[in-house]
Amino acid sequence: MCQDNIKKKQSAVIVSNEKIAHNVYKMVINQKQIALDAIPGQFINIYCKADSRILPRPISICEIDKQKELITIVYMIVGMGTKEFSCLTVGDKVEVLGPLGNGFNIKDSNESIIVGGGVGAPPLLELVKNIPGKKKVFLGFRSGSFLIEEFKKYADVYVATDDGSVGKKGTVIDLMEDMNVSGDIIYSCGPKPMLAAVKNYAQKEQIDAQISLEERMGCGIGACVGCICKIKADTELGYTYKKVCKDGPIFDAKEVMFE
């Protein structure tokens, strides 16, 4: 587990910041310590320059280049904070904190299944690079797609879109069911409805699954208790609450209660 309690904000330099899809941007940041410490599945906090936007924006790490001391993030414009990030240019400096959270527990398996949805796909790219054995990647989008060619460098890739603009029309779970997909383990990141479907699919096929939860976060370090999720536990109620930022964002799918 990362020692988040001793982490401090650090300055990072923008190496590139480009639009790769509608409202979706890919940013490469030079920050030595984060690049050296980060593992697949973790995230960083990025701080806005505007005084009116105090809270940091948590964004998953997409790629890690320890040799060049670079990290890549992919983000979607959803508000004024991410809109500000999209205007940053080469050479600009930003304040960042990280790496935060816990990464995926990569298993030594014969065949892995990787399932991503929308902006939940980017944090799976570095994971795919590090998974041993055979691997198949299933990506779902509402319309269009991004990072497909990057994923294809490391695995077989299958795509589904809600409108049928790329790949199969339907959900990524529809695609997996049509292909009767099976394997030793599933790694997944995406919106809650998709993750709930991944959990059900894994239970049906009796496959272990690790899922990365997406939640609104205040601090990103476990202090504000603003990103709790319900987890099965041996308690009177049958569950407890854990912090997505500190205890996750990666959880065993069997433990997560979506109800």
pLDDT tens-digit series, residues 171-220: 999 999 999 999 999 999 999 999 999 999 999 999 999 999 987 777 77
HEC sequence for 71-82: EEEEEECCCHHH
Residue 113 burial by CB count (10 A; 0-12/13-18/19+): exposed, middle or buried? buried
Q: Taking Cα atoms as reference points, which of 221, 213, 206 lies closest to residue 44?
A: 221
| CA angle, residues 84, 116, 225, in degrees to nearest 5 | 60
Number of C-beta neighbours around residue 242 at 10 A: 20
Q: What is the distance between the alpha carbons of residues 160 and 14, in angstroms, rounded to a whole number?
A: 32
pLDDT-derived band at 255 (thresholds 50, 70, 90) equals very high
Give me the pLDDT at residue 6, please: 59
Mean pLDDT of the chain: 93
Residue 180, classed as helix, strand or coil, is coil
Q: What is the distance between the alpha carbons of residues 17 and 35, in angstroms, rounded to a whole number?
A: 17
Digit-coded pLDDT (tens) for 142-171:
999 999 999 999 999 999 999 999 999 999
Backbone angles phi, psi at 120, to 5 degrees: -85, -10
Helix, strand, coil content of the chain in percent (nearest 5): 20, 35, 40
Decide if pLDDT at 3 tops 70: no
Decide if pLDDT at 248 tops 90: no
Q: What is the distance between the alpha carbons of residues 59 and 27, in angstroms, rounded to a whole number?
A: 11
Which of 51-55, 177-181, 244-248 is the least confident region? 51-55
**Tokens 């990787």 map to which residue?**
114
Digit-coded pLDDT (tens) for 90-130:
999 999 999 999 999 999 999 999 999 999 999 999 999 99
Domains of the chain: 4-100 (2.40.30.10), 104-211 (3.40.50.80), 213-259 (2.10.240.10)
Decide if pLDDT at 257 tops 50: yes
Concatenating the DSSP letter of every residue in 45-66 gives EEE-SSTT--S-EEEEEEEEET
Residue 55 burial by CB count (10 A; 0-12/13-18/19+): exposed, middle or buried? middle
Q: What is the distance between the alpha carbons of residues 209 and 168, in angstroms, rounded to a whole number?
A: 23
0.85 cut: is pTM over it? yes
